[in-house]
Structures are given as C-alpha cells and as structure tokens.
Chain A
C-alpha cells in the first residue's frame, strides 16, 4: 500500500478513466494527469500530521440511526420520470443490449 509519506504517487490516468467512465483523447489525458499531479502534490501535506488515535469525522454533525416514521408515500408517476429519460419505451428505460 502506498503511504502518504512516501514519494509522490504516480497518477495512472487510464485506470482512473476506467473507474470514472471517461473516454479521453491522449491530449486530454495528459492535461488531467498533469492537473491531478499538482493537486495531489499539494494535498499530500496531510502526510506531515500526526493522526495516531484520531477518530475520522465523516459528517458535519454526528447523527446516528436517524429514523423516520415508516409511512408509505406515493412515488413519482412513471410517465413523469420517463419524460426525462433520453430513451424510453412506454414503461421502461431503454438501453443498449447487455446480454446476447
């Protein structure tokens, strides 16, 4: 595993594009790799902090198991939802075939 205290990590832009679903030209890849490299170089300053024994903070306010009443509510009408779809049949979102 890489640690933040080692030398700057290389940015594998092809791997990131696969994960994030982007399809860049070689030129775009180089631009974003270069941007990321400088930003990651900056945020690595956190490597200098002593964080032993510090609990992580995930939310602005600590909320544990917030519950609401289990009441049935009407969901949005199907036609309303499908109206925003780029491609739909009368009752479904249409998308490319994924099973041959």
Chain B
C-alpha cells in the first residue's frame, strides 16, 4: 500500500481511489488515525477518537464494496462536532456538565451519514454548547488554527475546521447558529456550508437556539460540501421544523456552473469602518473576479444589518436559557449536591460547577430578556426587528440572485485576544448572524490570504431559503474562477 496523504485527498478523490482499488476504506481510516496521532498533539482538534469503531465500520464498508455497493460517502471517515449524538460515543458539547455522557442514539444527521456509508472516526472540539467564535470556550482544550499557528481556528465549529485544514479529516460536520460553520471555515481556509433553516434535521443535535441552529459540512471544496449536504438533507418525522421539500442532486448543480449572467448583490453595510482592510480587499478582488467572469455586480443595501447582532444575542440567548434548563443534574450529566443536600442546591451546584463562563453569561442574558418586566422591551422587540432583517433579504433577493460579502470583519485573530471582552467577540458575528435570523443558506469559500500575515480569508455567498443549488453552483463557479 502506498502511503495515503489525507491532506492531499478530498472526499471525491478518496472515493475514486477506493473504487479503483488503490486503497481500501480500512487503509484510509488507518491513515486518518495515523494523521491524528501525528498532528493533533500540536493542533488539538479532536476530543475523542473511536479507532476500533471506525476500523470495524471501515472493514464493513470494504465488504459491502466487494459485494457491489457504491456511493459517494461509502467508506469515507468524517469528523463530527461534539454536539451530534452518535450512539455509543461521548457527546459532551465540550462541557464539563456532560463529561462522561454516552449517546444512547444517533442524531438524524449521524444516521443518514452512516446510511450513506460514512464512518464516524472521532469527535472534534467546539466552543462549549456552540457558544463562541474561537473554540476558546471549550472546557477541555485549546484548538490551534492549522493555517495560522498561535491564532484561533474560529468557532464554534473550530475543531471541525481545524481537523480538515490540518489534514486529519477529509470532511467534518459542524453546526451554525450565528456563523459557527462559515466563520471557522473562513479562518482555516476551508469550505463551510450552512444550509437553509429547515433543510437538515436538528434531531439528536444538542440544542442551542432552536430557531437558528442548522447542521452542515466543512470540507475542502464545494463539491464535497454538496455531496455531504445531499446525504443529510430532507424531512424527518423527528423534527417538525425540518421541511418536507425534495432533496435535489446537489452535485448535478455544479456541472458546468458558470458566473455568466449571475446577478450579484454586494451589500454596502458589509464593507464598513471596523472591517479589516485586508479582508475587504481580498473579498473585493474576488467579486471583481466574478464580474470579469460575466457576473453582473450591483451594490445593494441591507439597512437593518446594524441591528442584527442585538437581535441575535437576544433571540439566541433567550432560546438557550430555555434549552439549557434541561441540564439540572438529575437525568444525565454532572451532579453536585450543595451543603444542605436539597434539590435546590443540587440544581444550583450542578449548573454552577458544570457550565463554563460563556455559557453562564448567555443563560443569564437570555433569562434577563425573558424575565417579567423585560420580555416585551427586549425579547418581543427583537422578534419584531428580526422581521425587518428578514425583509431586507426578501427585498434584496427580489433583485439579485446571490449576495457576495465578507464572512467576518477580521481574519483569524491571536488566541486570547478577546478574553475578558465578550461584547467585542460578539461584534465579530456581524456578517454571519443575519443569514441565521432570515433562515438563508450560506457558504464560505477561501478567496486568498491577507498580505501581511498570510491568513486565510473567506468569501461569503448567501442565497434565499432552499436555493442551495443556486448557492452551490455560484460557489463552485467562484472556486474555479479564483483558481485561475
């Protein structure tokens, strides 16, 4: 067997190689495990690795292939964010409160990936309960950005992006509540796809903000992201918010994709003071490339962009405060009794010792905006303002096919640089949260590096809800244009 270099393979190329008989799934999984062994000490992407389970699943997929089975994900190892339930594996959400928890069942995303032949090789780091944008809020470890050592990988799906960028996974799964797939993909130089709200089932994914959460892939290219989306999308009786709409062949949407005639909107509110000029110039250059390839580019306005962070941090924390009430030390997770051994002290001590500071902060904020006397002034106002954010996009998409903009106001920043200033970190979500509030689909694709530090920069493309085919076609055509 020739040595398999995970960093040189994509999902598609690995699949072709296995189909040709160049190597088996077992060999591919062994190479992935070896890469994790060799590289993850310095990067810290994985929280746990299921070597035995992955090898057993790989042998099973090799057996199925010998019997004539095939499929885009057959025998392909995928890294899972530590928020997806995978039966028999830990699921801690990078929190002490779930230390030792073992999933009793598969999330729908997990079950669909397994049904498509994918192999669950391990669980990757994240901000605790997906609350954060740097993965520094993990209770367990720091994850380095493989593309920029000493800097954050982004978050909350930072482990998912670092595993792919660090050559330790062909692809991974993340979740995106306010940018948590797109921003780490951008920081690490990967492709990150946030599907429309209602495209992918949330069943078995630990809930952060139920009206905003969506699962999606982080991959090395648009084609792999399309393949993974095709495997996980579609209605699910276990999630009534997952819509019963047909799942198109997303890979087919990429064939011959062109920018010719694509009407691109560029929102002026996303190119403002405070955005790193190097990020702006890389994104502007990418948009110029699109225009040169035949796209029609027009400046547009999304006038309520400035409100989006406030709306998001009210809605998301309100929902989180309710969702995380289930962690009470009774049915699962960490339990600590207080000095008087009462039920009240059990709740209080278990939660105070189990949750990290960022999670506590968000639960408190959500509790505040929902509490008597403040509910109308904060929560209801935010829901109404959310309507204005959504309407901005409705009006924009009446004119343009897709919106091109930066993913984040900065490239990857040094580890520790937002410590002690939570609001500063929240403001970094300005360009990603609007898509969640409006239920849009969005993708981040690499569009070059900053001149000063060589940091990856992502181009964000947004399309209307359930226009993933258009989104992926535009992203694929951009990927081609940028490679030329």
- On A, residues with C-beta under 8 Å from B are 1-4, 9, 11, 13, 15-17, 19-24, 32, 35-36, 38-40, 42-47, 49, 51, 54-61, 63, 66-69, 76, 80-81, 83-87, 93, 95-96, 98
Contacts and interface: CB of A to CB of B under 8 A. Distances in A.
B197 A59 contact: yes
Contacts of B211: 58-60
B368 A11 contact: yes
Closest CB pairs A-B (n = 9): A60-B197, A60-B439, A56-B383, A86-B335, A23-B348, A66-B240, A43-B310, A84-B332, A68-B237
B370 to A, nearest CB: 9
Given A22-B364, A59-B197, A93-B330, 5 more contacts: A21-B347, A22-B348, A22-B352, A40-B368, A69-B237
Contacts of A1: 373, 376-377
A76 B313 contact: no
A20 B384 contact: no
A49 B367 contact: no
Interface residues of B, number: 76
Contacts of B243: 61, 63
B232 interface: no
Contacts of A54: 384-385, 387-388
B423 interface: yes
Interface string B152-180: 00000000000000000000000000000
A29 B30 CA distance: 49
B175 to A, nearest CB: 14
A2 B439 CA distance: 31
A36 B357 CA distance: 12
B349 interface: yes
A90 B332 CA distance: 15
B66 interface: no
16 contacts: A11-B368, A17-B364, A22-B348, A36-B361, A39-B313, A40-B368, A42-B426, A49-B385, A58-B211, A60-B198, A60-B214, A68-B240, A83-B104, A84-B101, A85-B330, A98-B343
Interface of B: 101-102, 104-105, 196-198, 211-212, 214, 237, 240-241, 243, 306-307, 309-311, 313-314, 321, 325, 328-335, 337-338, 341-349, 351-352, 360-361, 363-365, 367-369, 371, 373-374, 376-378, 380-388, 390, 422-423, 426, 436-439, 465
Nearest to A88: B331
B330 A95 contact: yes
Contact of B367 (A19, A40, A59, A61): A19
B422 A61 contact: no
A61 B310 contact: no
A61 B380 contact: no
A86 B96 CA distance: 13
